[in-house]
Amino acid sequence: MKVAVVGATGLVGSEILTVLAERNFPVTELIPVASERSKGKEIDFKGKKYKIVTPAEAIALRPDVALFSAGGGTSTEYAPQFAEAGITVVDNSSAWRMDPTKKLVVPEVNGTVLSAEDKIIANPNCSTIQMVVVLQPLHAKYKIKRVVVSTYQSVTGTGVKAVNQLMDERAGKDGEKAYPYQIDLNVIPHIDVFQDNGYTKEEMKMIQETNKIMGDDSIRVTATTVRIPVMGGHSEAVNIEFEHDFDLAEVRQLLAEQEGVIVVDDPANLQYPMPKDAHGKDEVLVGRIRRDESQDKTLNLWVVADNLRKGAATNAVQIAELLHKKGLI
């Protein structure tokens, strides 16, 4: 299978290449794609060198699938061109997520919606992905009424510039800034741009994408998204109100049986999910499972995942795997 990775030199693009290799995706020819300034440079994939090409050159090479992770502008410009050439696009930017004509997919949650007509498929926001994987089995059993989520998001979600800012600050060096404030020894309650309603774009993504992926607009969601000085993964405190009451042992069983979820929940032995434990893993870790004692039929969870893996690269590759399994690519 001919596979194009658009944005192959970026943080997520590099992770996509790693995940493709680790999961033994059937790549017979890799087409790494980046901007004009990277054209001709070489990248290594499974011990073989591949030259970087431009998006226009990649279209001419007719890959079977193109995994995009090069920002919304690139996706808006080139994804339709790839699709028109008959190439299936899995896009990691926010460009197509809320387009009513495009599917927004987390394979464990709504992979059944994919069809041969889908030529541009949206990969959800990293914070949304890890949350809905955990919500899905609980919604099926108890029906979710409302979700209150607060996130604790890794600097890797912003990109290399943010990682460099954190490391520079930690070393006491001046350097290029990704954030308007110091991130080391600090917490910034601001991810993406503020909207007219006082929420940030990241918070509104979590609200709207959850409804779209879960296929249920009746689920009410409110979010506060926060950047913290860690690497390895995003963490979320999730409060879920259900229509029907639940048994905690059954909740743990449902989560343990959910594909892509690992339960790490043993407070007596100080076992709970942390970003350093999620780093490099494809699974979503969930713990601190307990009742909300202030309100009936309400559950508290702590959810952690590697935002560059399941939150981006792994989910995109899993979509490609599902398309391949269904014979759609």
Residue type, 288: R
**What are residue 109's phi and psi, to 5 degrees?**
-100, -50
126 included as an active-site residue: yes
Distance CA 70, CA 28 (A): 23
At residue 65, the 3 state secondary structure works out as strand
CB of 289 within 8 A of CB of 265? Answer: yes
**94 contact partners, CB below 8 Å, separation of at least 6:** 72, 125, 205
- Cα distances (Å, whole numbers) of residue 162 to 149, 178, 184: 24, 5, 11
Query: What value, to the nearest 5°, has the Cα angle with vertex 202 and ends 199 and 208?
Result: 85
Q: Which is the catalytic residue, given 139, 234, 279, 324?
A: 234
Closest C-alpha to 152, from 211, 236, 246: 236
Q: Is 234 a catalytic residue?
A: yes
User: Based on the number of CB atoms within 10 Å of its own CB, is 103 exposed (0-12), middle (13-18) or buried (19 or more)?
Assistant: buried
Query: What is the C-alpha separation between 329 and 327, in angstroms, rounded?
Result: 6
Catalytic position from the list 126, 139, 244, 324: 126
Q: State how far Cα 174 lies from the chain centre.
A: 31
Tokens 């405190």, located at residue = 237
Catalytic residues: 126, 234
